[in-house]
Amino acid sequence: MKENTSRIEKVKKDVNTYTIPCYICDSVRLECDKKIENTLNFLGTIVRESVKFALEESRRIRRISVDSPITSEDIIALEKLFSSLYGAARATQLPLLSPIRIIEEWVVAFLGEKLGQGSSTSISQFLVELIKKLLALTSSIQDPYDELVTFETSFARKITVIVDQPIVDSLHGMGIHEPDATHIASAVAHQTNNNEKTVFVTLDYDSIIAKQNEIKRVVNIVCSDPLYAIYHLTQ
């Protein structure tokens, strides 16, 4: 979840230092809205319900009351659950692996500490603490996004542009799919309409930055990692 923090901070610092206007177009905002919503739903609902089900199902198979204190066997049941959650997360193509890892590490540490102390903890008591952790985690994801996009209190402003369909088609022809093609076409439209040199900043190496030279040649827009954006602008 924080793998690219230093790169994002670099571009934020550059924006402030050089007073560079930074924008988020409608298509990027809508994609982010959807990904944030799906991420929070996955963490807030699927993870919580999956943990509850895994513990109760393990108890049912072992013929142990759900009201009995949690044991190391329950932690083993959760090991199998988290393994399956990682697989489900990869299938969603959402940035879920780090949040799930955080939850998994917290779960094992929390329950391991209780067992080590000889404390008696029921499934219902554990689930209350899990919900608190999930709420804190989802807040740590939602709040920075709201600051940046929803309330526009950070370094980027929302803009609406009308994209040129031939530009979108050209990007499709390079193998750039939606919504990335529309994102890049929005940057092209902004550059053309405002006669303002524009860099499309992205962390998508596989689909976009790998085709950086071809995109520049065909639609005349620079696509860059945040680390290098300022240097493209000042050329």
In the chain, pLDDT over 70 holds for what percent of residues? 94
For residue 77, how many other CB atoms are within 10 A of its CB? 20
Alpha helices in the chain (DSSP H): 5-18, 26-41, 48-62, 72-92, 97-117, 123-145, 165-173, 180-194, 212-219, 229-233
Residue with tokens 């990904």: 35
Q: Compute the average pLDDT of residues 66-81.
A: 95
Range from 53-67, 101-115, 133-147 carrying the lowest mean pLDDT: 133-147
Separation of alpha carbons 92 and 95, rounded Å: 9
Q: What is the largest CA-CA distance in the chain?
A: 71
* pTM for the full predicted model: 0.75
Q: Where do the structural domains in the chain lie, given as residue ranges?
A: 5-22+156-233, 34-150
As beta bridge partners, residue 131 has none
Q: Is residue 1 over pLDDT 50? A: no
- Give the pLDDT score at 96: 82
Confidence of residue 157 (pLDDT cuts 50, 70, 90): confident
Is the four-CA dihedral 151, 24, 177, 206 of positive or negative sign? negative
Residue with tokens 């780090």: 98
